[in-house]
Amino acid sequence: MERAFPADTQGPSAAGSSRPAAPASLEAAHPQGRDGGLGGGHDATAVPAGDALPLRVLLIEDSPLIRERLAETIVERGRIEIVGQADSEQAAIGLIGATAWHAMVLDLQLRHGTGLGVLRALVSMRPPGARVIVLTNYAFPQYRAKSLALGADYFLDKAREYHRVREILEALAQERTAGVH
């Protein structure tokens, strides 16, 4: 069953938790992203200009444990928040159009469908300035090339580059705070 989770939960494992939801993101194909830095060709905002803070993140990951760990790692009250979570391609695509967001952390392997399908949908649905971080256990050159060709800004290996998700999101949040567009 495909699931999209409300922004105030970590998914099924968060029942009864008083912890705030956390955002997630992924790493670069190159250490500073495909454009050589975090500024690149995208505007730093994907929601109306009045919403300067916090960085709003979609977390698309099939594993509840990894979603929870990512949320705990990346949420920073007032600076970075998770505004939606999904474990399938269809649920993720539904969130993309229904939720104002600035960054997405996207796994390639989903419960139903794939992260590549989500990237294909983003071609016509991506908010201006939104960033996409692919975080995957399938860090093969062909997946990296395909993800970047479909518009991913970062491509990270879960086993070796997991820590980069927070670094990238913090840099994006800092850009927003500084008003860099």
4-11+18-178 CATH, one of 3.40.50.1780, 3.40.50.2300, 3.40.30.10, 3.40.640.10: 3.40.50.2300
Position 10 confidence tier, pLDDT thresholds 50, 70, 90? very low
Query: Whose CA is closest to 152, among 54, 35, 71, 4?
Result: 35
Higher pLDDT, 109 or 29: 109
Residue 1 has which token pair?
A: 């069953």
Angle at the Cα of 40 (from 35 to 44), degrees rounded to 5?
A: 145
Kindly list the domain boundaries of the chain, sorted by start residue: 4-11+18-178
* Residue 77, pLDDT score: 87
Which pLDDT value is given to residue 53?
A: 79
Handedness of CA 121, 95, 97, 144 (dihedral sign): negative
Region 37-57 average pLDDT:
52
Which pLDDT band holds residue 39 (cuts at 50, 70, 90)?
Answer: very low
Here the tokens at position 164 are 């980069």
**Predicted pLDDT of residue 111:** 97
Average pLDDT over residues 39-55: 49
Cα separation, 34 vs 18, whole angstroms: 37
Which residues are within 8 A (CB) of 29 and not within 5 positions of it... i.e. 6 or more apart?
Answer: 144, 147, 148, 152, 154, 155
Which single residue is written with the structure tokens 């050159």?
A: 141
Nearest to 82 by CA among 60, 111, 65: 60
Strand order in the sheet with 55-60: 4-5, 80-86, 55-60, 103-106, 131-136, 154-157
Instruction: Using the predicted structure, report yes or no on whether residue 34 has a pLDDT greater than 80.
Output: no
pTM of the full predicted structure?
0.73
Of residues 82 and 30, more confidence is placed in 82
pLDDT at 169 over 70: yes
Judged against a pLDDT cut of 90, whether residue 56 lies above it is answered with yes
22 vs 112, higher pLDDT? 112
Task: Evaluate if residue 30 carries a pLDDT over 50.
Answer: no
- The string of pLDDT tens digits covering residues 104-137 is 999 999 999 999 999 999 999 999 999 999 999 9
**For range 151-176, the mean pLDDT:** 96
Tens of pLDDT along 150-162?
A: 999 999 999 999 9
